[in-house]
Structure 1
Amino acid sequence: MKFVNVEFITSKRTQDLEFYEILSSLRVGDINPKVSSYLGKFLSRNLILDSSKTVLFGRNIDADELNKAMLNRLDLPLEKFIAGYDIHDENLRSERFIKWVENLNVPANFEFKVGAKVIFTANRYKSAFNSVSFYNGEQGIIDSVVKDGYQILAIKIEKNSGELVEITPNSYDLGEFRLKDDEPSYEILASFYQFPLRLAYGITIHKSQGMSIDNLTCNLNNIFAEGQLYVALSRAINPKNLSIIYSRSASFDSYLNKVVKVSNDVKEFYEKETFIYMD
């Protein structure tokens, strides 16, 4: 099909050019002395519980433990919103539906308290039909819960900007294009309903993809996948608000060289393809 490859060379997330250059090296697996020295400035061995920080982990269990510990610090009733769903196509395989739901960046059961720190997991822009906006990675504090009896209708969030917004559950749709009477049509196979929110104390690196996070801590003790370390560090908006937790016995330099991996397919792509560079 003779695709044209376009590489955007201006960072949208951080304005710190040195940090951007370090991330660019990590992205292609280049662990040189400058990279090691730069990242070493952010190192700490121990995680200090701090509600102002969002901590990224390689494993679900670590993120869940931190969220539970921080939630227990709030002496208020525990709230729970259980996601709803509709199956529109009776032929939809349950395995496909479950896998799709697991890849949505929302919990099936959202447990929270008033006063809890949360992070938005979707983008929503103001329009003629919607007066509330937020972006993936924006944070805030739960101000109150709107209920009808025991049923939760909405959650009011005071964003870090100071703006108070009322959030209702998102509708996530699983769909596909199909031919119907020789004409293509897009059909919704299933819908899932949940608030576009997660607790913001601990998040897995996988679930943080696409987010822009200020006041970030990256726990790098359990990096196991290609590109995982790059994804974690590149969530940071400002390196001045970044810290790195590393407490393994091996030196940090040797650990970096071990875990920073780039797919051979990616390497081959960059070596063989030509690019148009744009701001």
Structure 2
Amino acid sequence: MGFITTAIAAYRYFSTNSIGKSTKFAQNRFRSKTKTKNSEPRKPRTRIKWTDQQKQIISAISEGNSVFITGSAGTGKTLLVNHIIKLLKKCHHRSGVFVTAPTGVAACAIGGQTLHSFAGIGPGVGDRHTLLDRVLSDKKAYNRWKKVEALVVDEISMVGAELFENLEYIAREIRGEDEVWGGIQLVVSGDFFQLPPILCKWNASGKEFAFEADCWNASFDFQYELTEVFRQSDSRFIKLLQGIRRGECEAQDIEFLEQSCLVTESESDPSVVQLYPLNKDVETVNQMRMEELAKEGTIYLAVDSGNNPWKNQLNQGIAPDEIFLCEGARVMLIKNLSTWRGLVNGATGTIIGFREPENMDVTDMCYDNLLPIVRFDSGLTMVITPAKWVVMEGDKVVAERKQIPLILSWALSIHKCQGMTLDKLQTNLSSAFGYGMVYVALSRVRSLEGLKLQGFRPSKIKAHPKVLQFYKVFVSERDTEVKNDGANKISDRSSEVAHVTDTRSNGATKYHFSLSEFLSSRQKRK
């Protein structure tokens, strides 16, 4: 969180021993209100109503199958993966289930560890034999590979083919099993149309994405695509996003997008979250907005525990090691606090004051022993108490961070917002680079009404040719299967899902993925 640290450093001269008259006023004024809000009766937790798609995936995993789950943004992958993690811990020994992701932000979001730290391969430099020797010389890493029964890998789009192949080789060698991945149940999730892997200079294979790995198809019994979108409800907006996802948009869609969302610099709303491709732009905007407020406030220091290398992973997560907050600061929740009240990851609001906690001491993270009061854009006012982020190794907590679950939200990087849902956002895409970046940014928002664009050019819409080809195979294989087997009816509706069957047992890969009408019709035109 480089921009957070820099912004805070500029404000160290502010007093943390006094909060100022206006803040004291806010403490008294909102003490009774916040107490009432926090004491609202808790509504009973509603059971999740899984779709047929999701039920099919849950059933396959509960039977011990290895599964790849893909789907566009907003199709419920994160919710489903979190449920699957709980399911796996019931099906296996809790200590035998390891949850991973390629980056610290993604790993902390699902309560896991980075893929590299689980594997014990350090930065992952070297050929497979070098990496295997590194694991064999690390007793803890060796033991992890021996006892793992199920391995979850989230955000697979950021994992390269070479890394995927090397880890599969390490699994077989250490476990002494000829079976793919040494018999580990593998659950992998992600969308290859989103953020791609960062390739190393020493990647000599020419293969980029995990699906290019020689062992990819053999690694899974089933491969599923979630296609029902929950984040957006407007069918035209969904169609537009699906086109952008695949790197193409029809002229009328581009015109519609520009007419609906394009704004000038003078029309910018400082209360709306601004997404930027570059961290330096995020840092500049947040620091400038804080300087404009020029108010006294307080600093919250994260309290970390655990051992390295897991403790170091906490600094890669979204919870900052320190954050300066003052009245008027725009903030965003970075953890689900109460889903039924709308206090979810991505909810935005404004700091309106501070107050002393009741039945709690936070002097270990805030010298003044004060908690921030946030008026959320939904209208709810709430005192925000510390939250915890953990790094898990199987069923063991190996590192933990306690921090106020807020970050400054005038600006945010596109990479940091992956997985979030926003009611409103403004984004300047003039410096967008790479494949999938425009899609990740635009797909965060619930509706066109909440989207404002600057610096938008259709040429920025890009999808990687290899990813397009990967998903085209599903269409081709699906059409062939339907043609050759009249009894096997597969719907072309976007709400359907089907799967790859018996990829391990017979070596024949049969794809039954449903994709959008957009891509299907484009394939036929060619």
Instruction: Verify: 1:268 aligned to 2:484, yes or no.
Output: no
**Structure 1 residues 170 and 229 mapped into 2: Cα distance closer, same or farther (>3 Å)?**
same
Q: What is the identity, as a one-letter code, of the residue corresponding to 1:275?
A: F
Unaligned runs of 5+ in 1: 178-185
How many angstroms apart in 2 are the aligned matches of 1:220 and 1:101?
29
- Structure with bigger helix share is 2
Instruction: Verify: 1:256 aligned to 2:475, yes or no.
Output: no
Q: What is the identity, as a one-letter code, of the residue corresponding to 2:254?
A: S
How many angstroms apart in 1 are the aligned matches of 2:465 and 2:330?
35
Q: Relative contact order: is structure 1 or structure 2 higher (C-alpha 8 Å, sep ≥ 6)?
A: 1
Alignment of 1:29-44 (within 5 A): 29-41=247-259, 42-44=261-263
- The match for 1:156 is 373
Q: What is the identity, as a one-letter code, of the residue corresponding to 2:343?
A: F
**Structure 1 residues 194 and 236 mapped into 2: Cα distance closer, same or farther (>3 Å)?**
same
Q: What is the identity, as a one-letter code, of the residue corresponding to 1:155?
A: P
Contact 1:136/1:212 (8 A) holds in 2: yes
Alignment of 1:1-279 (within 5 A): 1-9=220-228, 11-41=229-259, 42-44=261-263, 46=265, 50-87=269-306, 89=307, 92-93=308-309, 96-98=310-312, 100-125=313-338, 134-147=343-356, 150-177=367-394, 186-246=395-455, 252-253=457-458, 255-257=459-461, 260-262=462-464, 264-265=466-467, 267-269=469-471, 271-272=473-474, 273-275=511-513
How many angstroms apart in 2 are the aligned matches of 1:267 and 1:152?
56
Q: What is the identity, as a one-letter code, of the residue corresponding to 1:161?
A: S
Give aligned pairs, total: 251
How many angstroms apart in 1 are the aligned matches of 2:237 and 2:451?
11
Q: Aligned Cα RMSD in Å?
A: 2.6
Q: TM-score, normalised by structure 1?
A: 0.80
Q: What is the DSSP-based 3-state SS (H/G/I as helix, E as strand, rest coil) of the residue aligned with 2:331?
A: strand
- The match for 1:183 is none
**Structure 1 residues 263 and 204 mapped into 2: Cα distance closer, same or farther (>3 Å)?**
farther
Q: What is the identity, as a one-letter code, of the residue corresponding to 2:413?
A: T
Q: TM-score, normalised by structure 2?
A: 0.44
How many angstroms apart in 2 are the aligned matches of 1:263 and 1:174?
35
Per mean C-alpha deviation after superposition, the further-off stretch among 228-237 and 147-156 is 147-156
Please state how far the C-alpha of 1:34 moved relative to its aligned partner: 3.2
Please state how far the C-alpha of 1:153 moved relative to its aligned partner: 4.4
Unaligned runs of 5+ in 2: 1-219, 357-362, 475-510, 516-526
Please state how far the C-alpha of 1:266 moved relative to its aligned partner: 6.2
Per mean C-alpha deviation after superposition, the further-off stretch among 20-29 and 71-80 is 71-80
**Structure 1 residues 12 and 104 mapped into 2: Cα distance closer, same or farther (>3 Å)?**
same
Q: What is the identity, as a one-letter code, of the residue corresponding to 1:235?
A: R
**C-alpha deviations, 1:51-76, integer Å up to 9, x for none?**
22211000111111111121222242
How many angstroms apart in 2 are the aligned matches of 1:216 and 1:51?
10
Give me the identity figure in percent: 24
Q: What is the DSSP-based 3-state SS (H/G/I as helix, E as strand, rest coil) of the residue aligned with 1:151?
A: coil
Q: What is the identity, as a one-letter code, of the residue corresponding to 2:243?
A: S
Q: What is the DSSP-based 3-state SS (H/G/I as helix, E as strand, rest coil) of the residue aligned with 1:12?
A: coil
**C-alpha deviations, 1:107-165, integer Å up to 9, x for none?**
222122112111111212379xxxx8611111111122234683344222111122121
Q: What is the DSSP-based 3-state SS (H/G/I as helix, E as strand, rest coil) of the residue aligned with 1:73?
A: helix
How many angstroms apart in 1 are the aligned matches of 2:256 and 2:348?
27
How many angstroms apart in 1 are the aligned matches of 2:277 and 2:271?
20
Contact 2:425/2:451 (8 A) holds in 1: yes
Q: What is the identity, as a one-letter code, of the residue corresponding to 1:163?
A: L
**Structure 1 residues 65 and 152 mapped into 2: Cα distance closer, same or farther (>3 Å)?**
farther
**C-alpha deviations, 1:1-37, integer Å up to 9, x for none?**
421414232x322222111111011112223323432
Q: What is the identity, as a one-letter code, of the residue corresponding to 1:196?
A: P
Q: What is the DSSP-based 3-state SS (H/G/I as helix, E as strand, rest coil) of the residue aligned with 2:249?
A: coil
How many angstroms apart in 1 are the aligned matches of 2:235 and 2:446?
12
Per mean C-alpha deviation after superposition, the further-off stretch among 231-240 and 74-83 is 74-83
Please state how far the C-alpha of 1:271 moved relative to its aligned partner: 2.3
Per mean C-alpha deviation after superposition, the further-off stretch among 261-270 and 62-71 is 261-270
